[in-house]
Chain A
Amino acid sequence: MISKLFKNVSNRRSFLGAGALLPLVPLFSSTNTSADNPADPKSICKSPLAHAGGMTTVGNVDHLRNGFDPHNLLTDWETGTVEKDSAGKTIRKFEIIAVDTEIEIAPGVFFPAWTYNGRVPGPTIRATEGEFLQIKFINMGSHPHSMHFHGIHSAKMDGISGAGLVDPGEEFVYEFRADPFGCHLYHCHVAPLKRHIHKGLYGAFIVDPDPKLHPQNTTTALSRQLGTDENMHWQELVMVMNAFDTNFDEENEIYAVNTIAHEYSKRPIKIDKQRPVRIYLINVTEFDPINSFHIHGNFFDYFDHGTTLTPTLNKVDTVMQCQAQRGIIEMSFSNHEPGHYMFHAHQSEFAELGWMSMFEVV
């Protein structure tokens, strides 16, 4: 009967808490009871650890075993191999293989992922506006997969059922022109979509503007084109906001940029304050309607989808994206004091579940 009595009591804010018994003591004893008095602030958690740095995953991820380091993912551009056709136009060829891989997404937590080239997010495919792309996709996974590019292409190259859906052991070559320039993504478009995406089949697809086609904004376009002198001045980073539902209850247990929870807060990203920062930000988070990016102590210009050379948002410090929405963030720390500048999702929930990061400005 007793345990039932206790269970029936309202969970929250019981005005007669269990503590109501202990204050009975002064009736019988003359000793001071402050140590057990629930109203005494000293009686709550006073561990210094609890308030400073308590919020964290515990331990370290073995990046070697995973086969990829999130710090390398930031700047790892997959530019493929280049050929010229008879007319002298550039053909850029890529090879992507889908494989089932178990990856460690937080220290000691292993996730049975489906991946492009064994990594999550998949390789950052980077090309220049107007180039002809040939992406050979080989499916070595256990389920049918595809590569559905966000870009302009013909219906038969769409990466959906009947147009580039690849059964296990088969392959397919997606062909289209890199268009429009911007910050895009690709992902598997096989049903059930939710499962295929959140298991890890997504990646960044960046199309740099061709400076020749933008005479009014040549300098800006040059700064965006990989490998130019103007571009070398920039510190470019690709950040894919993703999350993992480890117990398959359609809710995420772990959030991150580039897969590994809390990785960039444990090992901050080094930023040279003399060089401007450009972030290719992509949201692929499944199950939650939106994700967001917020920078501490600074403001940035934002180019929605990256399809313009002038900002679509000026001077903001927070931006939100729905799934598959993406954009380019440009900011500078040139007038800042060196130090650690935090950036994270401004859904506190996501931040505390892993999407928490740090720039170390030097």
Chain B
Amino acid sequence: MVYNRIAFFVVLIMLGVISLAIYVFNPLDDFDNNLPPEESLIIERVTSGPDGFTAYVRGNGREPIKISQVQVDGAFWNFRQIPEGPINQLATAKILIPYPWVQNETHHLLFLSSTGATYDYTIDVAYKAPSPNKKTLFSLALIGICVGVIPITLGMLSLPLLRLIGDNSIVFFMSLTIGLLGYLFVDTLEEGLELTKISANAFQGSLSVLLASVLTFLGILAISWRSKPSTDGIILATWLAIGIGLHNFGEGLSIGAALSLGNAALGSMLLIGFAIHNLTEGVAIIAPITKQKVTFGMLLCWLCLAGLPAIAGTWIGTFTFAPHWNALFFGIAAGAIAQVIIEVTRSIWVMRVNLGDKFIVSNAFAGFGMGILVMYTTAFLIQV
């Protein structure tokens, strides 16, 4: 026991000695001759408005970065930085550039640091960024309703139909839900990883997304596994609504970001496409409760949990944009969805036990395959 403690202190002391040695002898000394400062800049977002461009930038290197000049489309341009001065690592600044930009055309921004290093950003299609007034919020809410609330409502309306079918068909629909969730999981995770490419280095991009995802998954799992697996459809449906709601919040964020950045070509047709794509989400939520009595209030509650986050996401995504936070959110959402997959699988397992010999395995697999296929096909149709 005593030896164990000594061993612990030996480790600590040796760590101290090594740190001291590195500090004193500095083996990197030979490699550090007059290197330019380790500075870097991330341009997180550029919006276009009546006063020109507004760029939101973040220091990305260990050394503060000083933005000395700004070029727009290969011309030095007047600008004002708020706050002024060098930008420290992870600190943000707003750069106002009074440039007469052209509607629906591409513009290139270039930021020159004091060392002459350049950081560029392309506005694919310049479009006046929506301003946060009542009317804009209302139209954004409409968009959120179109992609979130309406499709889920329609999906849930299939409840009377689902009540008519037998146990094994329920298994089919539950498995279909797993397929759908699997698709959403991959989609959400991909979305998060995509965002890390434009986040500051110190946030450690993809690692933070994966970590958030795993920790969320384990966290919720720990909570839910305190209870025994049950066939209680209400709990399951609630988990499903939460998972899908998180996904829809993310979807809203992406739509909002695209709208404010003006790099979206999102027509009304796309909206209808999304609605059809998300229809299955409503079916998924009610799949566990087809044999149970539920109140209208419960249905409304699930609808809100799953659908309303799309509106909130659209609002937040339009008026704020911090790639690292959004990426982290997508990580959390992916973790939550993964957990719901486990939850639904557990309940299918319970059904399998209850049904015994009557359980048709092929139904489960067919449902799963069908779930993925439906999501893939509707997504495909949106894009063509």
Q: Which residues of A contact B (CB under 8 A)?
A: 1-14, 16-22, 24-25, 28-29, 31, 33, 36, 38, 42-47, 49-51, 53-59, 106-111, 244, 246-247, 249, 253, 261-262, 349, 352-354
Q: Evaluate whether A25 and B77 lie within 8 angstroms (CB atoms) in the complex, with A18-B127, A45-B99 already known.
A: no
- Decide: B68 and A353 in contact? CB cutoff 8 A: no
* Chain A binder among B10-18, B133-141, B298-306: B133-141
Chain A: interface secondary structure?
loop
Task: Tell me the minimal C-beta distance from B274 to chain A in angstroms.
Answer: 8
B281 within 8 A of A: no
User: Quick one: which of A1, A33, A50, A57 contacts B69, CB cutoff 8 A?
Assistant: A57
Report how far A192 CA is from B101 CA in the complex, Å: 40
Cβ of B187 within 8 Å of any chain A Cβ, yes or no, is: yes
Least CB distance, B186 to chain A, in whole angstroms: 10
A-B contact pairs, 22 of them (CB 8 A): A1-B187, A11-B263, A12-B125, A13-B125, A14-B125, A16-B266, A17-B104, A17-B127, A17-B264, A18-B259, A36-B128, A36-B135, A44-B50, A44-B102, A45-B99, A50-B100, A54-B78, A54-B100, A106-B68, A108-B69, A249-B118, A261-B76
- Mask, B65-79, CB within 8 Å of A = 1, is 010111100111111
- Which residues in window 93-136 of B have CB below 8 A to A? 98-106, 110, 112-118, 124-125, 127-128, 130, 135-136
Extra contacts, 15 of them, besides A21-B266, A353-B71 (Cβ < 8 A), are A11-B263, A12-B124, A16-B266, A17-B262, A21-B143, A24-B268, A25-B142, A38-B103, A38-B128, A44-B101, A57-B76, A247-B116, A262-B76, A352-B75, A353-B75
Q: In the complex the two chains form, is B268's CB within 8 Å of A20's CB?
A: yes
Query: Roughly how many angstroms separate A90 CA and B259 CA in the complex, as a whole number?
Result: 75
Closest A residue to B118 by beta carbon equals: A247
A157 and B143 alpha carbons, distance in the complex (Å): 76
Number of residue pairs across A and B with beta carbons under 8 Å? 210
Of residues 74 to 94 in B, which have CB atoms within 8 Å of A's CB atoms? 74-79
Given A14-B104, A47-B52: A353 and B74 interface contact (C-beta under 8 Å): yes
Partner of B264, one of A9, A29, A58, A107: A9
A57 to B270, CA, bound (A): 43
Encode contact with A along B46-57: 1 for CB under 8 Å, 0 otherwise: 001111100000
Q: Are A108 and B142 in contact (CB-based, < 8 A)?
A: no
Residue of A whose beta carbon sits closest to that of B49: A45
Q: B361 near A: Cβ within 8 Å?
A: no
Minimal beta-carbon separation of A85 from chain B (angstroms): 46
Q: Which of B50, B66, B114, B251 contacts A43 (CB 8 A)?
A: B50
Say whether A1 contacts B267, CB under 8 Å: no
> What residues of chain A lie closer than 8 Å to B125, measured between beta carbons?
11-14, 17-18
Contact present for B77 and A45 (CB under 8 Å): no
- Pair A10/B265 contact, Cβ less than 8 Å: yes
> Does A246 contact B117, Cβ atoms closer than 8 Å?
yes
A53 and B78 contacting across the interface, CB-CB below 8 Å: yes
Most buried by A among B263, B265, B271: B265
CB atoms of B48 and A45 under 8 A apart: yes
Q: Does B167 belong to the interface (CB within 8 Å)?
A: no
Say whether, besides A21-B268, A25-B135, A353-B74, A44 and B100 are in contact (CB < 8 Å): yes
Tell yes or no: B382 within 8 A of A by CB.
yes
Measured between beta carbons, the chain A residues less than 8 angstroms from B71 are: 253, 353
Query: Which of B68, B110, B251 contacts A107, CB < 8 Å?
Result: B68
Residues of B within 8 A of A16 (CB): 265-267, 269
- Identify which of A2, A9, A56 gathers the most chain B CB atoms within 10 Å of its CB: A2
A252 CA to B369 CA, complexed, in Å: 56
Q: Residues of A contacting B69 with CB < 8 Å?
A: 57-58, 106-109
Tell whether B232 is near chain A: CB-to-CB under 8 Å.
no
Task: Please name the residue on chain A nearest to B115 by beta carbon.
Answer: A110
Contact of A45 among B50, B76, B104 (CB under 8 A): B50
By a CB distance below 8 angstroms, the chain A residues around B68 are: 59, 106-109
B94 → A minimal CB distance (Å): 15
| Chain B binding surface, main DSSP class | mixed
B60 to chain A minimum Cβ distance, whole angstroms, is: 16
Q: Do residues A9 and B142 form an inter-chain contact, with CB atoms below 8 A?
A: no
Question: Whole-angstrom distance from the CB of A59 to the nearest CB of chain B?
Answer: 8
Q: How far is the CA of A42 from the CA of B106 in the complex (A)?
A: 19
- Chain A neighbourhood of B78, CB < 8 A: 49, 53-56, 58
Chain A residue with the shortest CB-CB distance to B250: A2
**Complex contact B50–A246 (CB within 8 A):** no
Minimum CB–CB distance for B99 against chain A, Å: 6
Residue from B142, B190, B194 having most chain A Cβ neighbours under 10 A: B142
A354 to chain B: which residues have CB within 8 Å?
76
Asked if B383 is at the interface (CB within 8 A of a chain A CB), the reply is yes
Instruction: State which of A19, A21, A111 has its C-beta within 8 Å of the C-beta of B116.
Output: A111
Contact B138 A56, beta carbon cutoff 8 Å: no
Docked CA distance A54–B325 (Å):
34
A154 CB to nearest chain B CB (Å): 39
Report yes or no: B76 in contact with A47, Cβ–Cβ below 8 A: no
Across chains A and B, which 3 residue pairs bring their CB atoms closest together, nearest first?
Answer: A246-B116, A108-B68, A352-B75
Task: State how many angstroms separate the Cβ of B316 from the closest Cβ of chain A.
Answer: 14
Report how far A253 CA is from B69 CA in the complex, Å. 10
* In contact, A244 and B116 (Cβ under 8 angstroms): yes
Contact yes or no, A106 B66, CB < 8 A = no
Q: Which residues of B contact A6 (CB under 8 A)?
A: 254, 258, 263-266
A347–chain B nearest beta-carbon distance, Å = 10
Residues in B with CB closer than 8 Å to A106 are 68-69, 76, 112
A58, B264: Cα distance in complex, Å: 32
